[in-house]
Amino acid sequence: MLYKRLLNIYNSTRCHEYYPIELIGDLYQFVRSQIVRGKQYINPYSFAQLHNMNVKQVIPFFLYFSQEDGVFDVIFFFDCSRPTCYSRIMMDEKEVHSASAEDTVTCQECEKEYVIHDILPFLKAYFKLKPHIELEPNNYPFTRSDSNSTYEAFKGLPDHLKQVSPSSSDDQSRNIIDEGDFPTQIPAKHIFEGNVDGNGHIISPMIAKFYSELPFIYEV
């Protein structure tokens, strides 16, 4: 069950050192609302907006729940660049890591061919609920935060997370949060950057492995 799993991960990882427990109920309700609306992907940016978080707070939070035994799969993909084609080319781990300098991938929609190494810097990611995870029954009691007080809950965050406010100089992060209509896609760079906690510990070994084996080096 999703909520129990979230709570379990919260308590058994360092997540509880950085985030208030009320966010677990909030995350559960958010995921539930997305699933009920038929959304295929769970958008951390929308969650961030609802709970006064920014990119640097929300991506690490989501990554705690994106491990092998977690609740989310992180799916990497690339948008086909042909203007009339809106297709997405999913990139699985093996395909990315075993690619030689010449290996290509073909858009299944328009058949445009890409050299895999060339598209790696433009990878994006989705968070998706793992298929076997079920929601709790409707009347299950959850801890939830009062939406007005959530910001207060972040007072306990380590300094490097607190400092990032809407007036931060991180323009890219700010723009994504300020855009009203949130893109569901997350630049892979944000995922790799967010995969470390306030004390330098890796959050998701799976993501760290994916990153370390990339033939392309992101500047994170």
Q: What angle do CA 166, 66, 78 make, to 5 degrees?
A: 75
Q: Does 80 bind Zn ion (CB under 5 A)?
A: yes
Beta strands in 97-193 (DSSP E): 104-106, 113-115, 124-129, 186-187
- Contact stretch for Zn ion (CB under 5 A) within 19-27, 108-116, 126-134, 212-220: 108-116
d(CA 172, CA 194): 14
Two tokens at 123? 């990878």
CB of 166 to Zn ion, least distance (A): 36
d(CA 183, CA 32): 19
- Contact stretch for Zn ion (CB under 5 A) within 7-15, 81-89, 94-102, 197-205: 81-89
Of positions 79, 109, 136, 170, contacts Zn ion by CB under 5 A: 109
- Contact stretch for Zn ion (CB under 5 A) within 23-31, 73-81, 148-156, 164-172: 73-81
CB of 103 to Zn ion, least distance (A): 18
Cβ neighbours for 167, distance < 8 A, ≥ 6 positions apart: none
Q: Does 125 bind Zn ion (CB under 5 A)?
A: no
* Residues that bind Zn ion in the complex, under the rule CB under 5 A: 80, 82, 85, 87, 107, 109-110, 112
